[in-house]
């Protein structure tokens, strides 16, 4: 796969990881260090409410119940509808992902600095790494990720496991990533690994 050095004149660093790996934690830390971060998954959640054309298309695909009486995306209903219907899920994603891509491209144009970070769970699955200068994978043992998500979201073991089972295996992601952060220890260790990678990236582009 051809990797672009720059995207809209910027070097994009993709930040990814499976559920509960700690990618948002790392992204927030990177933001604190002063680098702009685009949160794809969070933005996708807003876009389904803010983009009127997208909203219309989702209603056409999934019906009026995809939005509640206040016009807000009914995430739970949609998740249940598409969870065991892969074709429908693909169609829905085929609408949402291009809208997020467009939003990201608009965001890039408002950013200063050459190094921008993009947090996304689907970096490799959607081949978004082809627009990235480098990719960083955050990973942790499955049992730790399970425990952390159960604690964070109040989900059951089985619920988290079901989501995990649908994601690209960690081993495959490790092979594809330029840098890997192992998040099996405490926060301090996580920050230290992140800083080391950032230093390396900075020295590369200078
Ligand atoms: P998701 O894909 O579900 O959005 P994520 O990869 O963004 O997850 P985070 O939300 O960053 O993961 O982390 C999952 C949970 O684990 C959070 O509650 C976070 O505070 C916690 N966590 C992350 N890293 C550590 C760590 N090293 N030690 C303890 N808790 C951690």
Show me where the domains of the chain are located: 1-36+114-206, 42-110
Does pLDDT of 92 surpass 80?
Answer: yes
- In this chain, the answer to whether the domains covering 1-36+114-206 and 42-110 adopt an identical fold is yes
Pocket test for ligand 1, best of 14, 23, 25 (most atoms within 8 A of CB): 25
Q: Map residue 117 onto helix, strand or coil.
A: strand
Q: Map residue 22 onto helix, strand or coil.
A: coil
Question: pTM to 2 decimals?
Answer: 0.93
pLDDT in tens, 158-171: 999 999 998 999 99
Q: How many Å apart are CA 127 and CA 123, to the nearest integer?
A: 6
Count Cβ atoms within 10 A of the Cβ of residue 123 and give its class: 0-12 exposed, 13-18 middle, 19 or more buried: buried
Considering the chain, what percentage of its residues have pLDDT values greater than 90? 92
Q: Map residue 85 onto helix, strand or coil.
A: coil
Mean pLDDT over 88-100 rounds to 96
Does pLDDT of 31 surpass 90?
Answer: yes
Token pair 């970096």 is found at: 123
Distance 205 CA to ligand 1 centre (A): 29
Instruction: Name the residue at shortest CA distance from atom 24 of ligand 1.
Output: 22
Q: How many Å apart are CA 148 and CA 135, to the nearest integer?
A: 24
Q: Map residue 37 onto helix, strand or coil.
A: strand
Instruction: Give the pLDDT confidence score for residue 84 in this predicted structure.
Output: 82
Fold of the domain spanning 1-36+114-206: Rossmann fold (3.40.50)
What residues does ligand 1 touch, defined as CB less than 6 Å away?
A: 17, 19-25, 121, 148-149, 152, 183, 186-187, 190
pLDDT in tens, 112-123: 987 999 999 999
Instruction: Give the pLDDT confidence score for residue 72 in this predicted structure.
Output: 97
Pocket test for ligand 1, best of 18, 20, 147 (most atoms within 8 A of CB): 20
Give the architecture (CATH level 2) of 42-110.
3-Layer(aba) Sandwich (3.40)
């Amino acid at each position: 796969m051809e990797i672009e050095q720059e995207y809209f004149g910027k070097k994009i660093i993709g930040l990814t990881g499976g559920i509960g790996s700690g990618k948002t934690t790392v992204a927030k830390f990177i933001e604190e260090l002063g680098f702009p971060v685009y949160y794809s998954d969070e933005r996708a959640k807003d876009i389904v409410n803010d983009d009127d054309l997208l909203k219309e298309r989702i209603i056409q695909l999934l019906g009026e119940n995809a939005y509640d009486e206040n016009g807000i995306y009914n995430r739970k209903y949609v998740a249940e509808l598409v969870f065991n219907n892969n074709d429908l899920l693909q169609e829905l994603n085929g609408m949402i992902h291009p809208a997020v891509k467009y939003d990201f491209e608009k965001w890039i144009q408002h950013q200063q600095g050459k190094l921008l970070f993009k947090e996304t769970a689907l970096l490799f699955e959607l081949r978004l790494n082809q627009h990235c200068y480098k990719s960083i994978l955050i990973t942790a043992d499955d049992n730790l990720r399970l425990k952390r998500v159960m604690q964070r979201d109040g989900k059951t073991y089985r619920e988290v496991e079901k989501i995990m089972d649908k994601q690209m295996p960690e081993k495959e992601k490790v092979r594809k990533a330029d840098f890997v952060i192992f998040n099996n220890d405490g926060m301090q260790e996580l920050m230290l690994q992140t800083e080391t990678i950032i230093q390396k990236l900075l020295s590369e582009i200078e």
